[in-house]
Structure 1
């Protein structure tokens, strides 16, 4: 069993009633998305955040981490990867929910790139559906395996049209497959955005989280 840990941000109110877990991309680490937690936290005072480091060192990025090896040459490696890495992440989520005293239906998964692959794979197979999955610049591994999912949370996918790492079509295809499987899916396409997250993506993510958790945002 791989050890997963990383930076956390406790609920500002002192007692969390929801948990947002941010899953970074290939070659990054938990610090990469921690700024997002800090930017969202003032609007979500009863929400705890965790931004774990993936368990394995990334040979292509010194100091970086990976959820699973990724060469981009073998289409099946993404499915094999999420299958291999999924159980350890699932155990981390259970432990973090218990640590925070948060119900599993008050969990939000936010992923970027490879982290989106992990969020979709694990989130759709939880015993209790998360409140929301937000996937930036991602990909749905194993779209032909959606018949086995056990949870149908709300999903927001955000992708840039100029993404040269994972083309925007990957989120369009994912949205279509998830919708066909009965999930409530929203898709936002960001014109001209490369492989990253822009301000509009952050705003849309915050709004979706607040709606899913029943939090009123100012204005």
Structure 2
């Protein structure tokens, strides 16, 4: 796990990477966001486990879950999503045990990492400060109605207009599901592919300041 520490730890952002990446992939973002030191924001960038990914010919890489089909309703392996959600839940538990309250913890994720964030945060036993779901979609969204614990969760969603990995419509579908569940969810799209851009990072910085100040 990569860590961007704070002189005085008051808040935590846990940021989950996408398929084939690692915690190091998004680690430079922490310094780029340049959050005020007095907020005391510590960033954690955990690594997904290495496993075989079916759509990539069984090649082993870091993945939060297997992908067996590119069809949106079959893309996320539900069991793998659940297992990764449990491991990240344990990581959040560790932060709370260390003295960081749940309302000072942000769960963020890009692509596969966003799927885990959107699955876990509404079901987690404490309400978090918020969720960042970037260039992502949802696993089994229809289950959220019966399983969500926090229907007023604050969620920042962003997507690329030209995303050829996770189609824009997949992100919008997730946004609609979350809206229908009463979540406080915002939507942003940018003229980009499956990536993060400077304008998006500026919006993320503003959102983090609002949620953690």
C-alpha distance in 2, partners of 1:43/1:134? 19
Moved more, 195-204 or 68-77: 68-77
Preserved contact between residue 18 and residue 102 of structure 1 (Cα < 8 Å): yes
Which residue does 1:163 correspond to in 2?
163
C-alpha distance in 2, partners of 1:84/1:76? 17
Task: Report how far residue 155 of structure 1 moved.
Answer: 0.5
Task: Report how far residue 112 of structure 1 moved.
Answer: 0.4
Which residue does 1:53 correspond to in 2?
47
Which residue does 2:2 correspond to in 1?
7
Which residue does 2:104 correspond to in 1?
106
After TM superposition, list the pairs within 5 Å mapping 1:16-31 onto structure 2: 16-31=9-24
C-alpha distance in 2, partners of 1:186/1:32? 25
Preserved contact between residue 29 and residue 64 of structure 1 (Cα < 8 Å): no
Please, which runs of 5 or more residues in structure 2 have no aligned partner? none
C-alpha distance in 1, partners of 2:150/2:105? 13
Q: Describe the superposition over 1:73-127 as per-residue Cα deviations: whole angstroms up to 9, x where unpaired.
A: 463351513123211121122113434x211121101110000000111111111
Moved more, 31-40 or 74-83: 74-83
Q: Describe the superposition over 1:157-215 as per-residue Cα deviations: whole angstroms up to 9, x where unpaired.
A: 10011100000111111111101101001000113x1000111111111111110112x
Which residue does 2:135 correspond to in 1?
137
Preserved contact between residue 110 and residue 133 of structure 1 (Cα < 8 Å): yes
Out of 116, 124, 127, the residue aligned to residue 126 of structure 1 is 124
Task: Report how far residue 58 of structure 1 moved.
Answer: 5.2
* Corresponding residue pairs, total: 205
Which residue does 1:186 correspond to in 2?
186
Q: Describe the superposition over 1:1-42 as per-residue Cα deviations: whole angstroms up to 9, x where unpaired.
A: xxxxx011111xx22211001100011000011011121244
Moved more, 182-191 or 51-60: 51-60
Which residue does 1:66 correspond to in 2?
63
After TM superposition, list the pairs within 5 Å mapping 1:194-213 onto structure 2: 194-213=193-212
C-alpha distance in 1, partners of 2:59/2:198? 28
SS of corresponding position for 1:78: coil
Task: Report how far residue 145 of structure 1 moved.
Answer: 0.9
Please, which runs of 5 or more residues in structure 1 have no aligned partner? 1-5, 215-219
Q: CA RMSD in A?
A: 2.0
Task: Report how far residue 57 of structure 1 moved.
Answer: 3.8
TM-score by length of 2: 0.89
Task: Report how far residue 56 of structure 1 moved.
Answer: 2.7
Task: Report how far residue 69 of structure 1 moved.
Answer: 1.0
C-alpha distance in 2, partners of 1:200/1:188? 10
Preserved contact between residue 56 and residue 68 of structure 1 (Cα < 8 Å): no
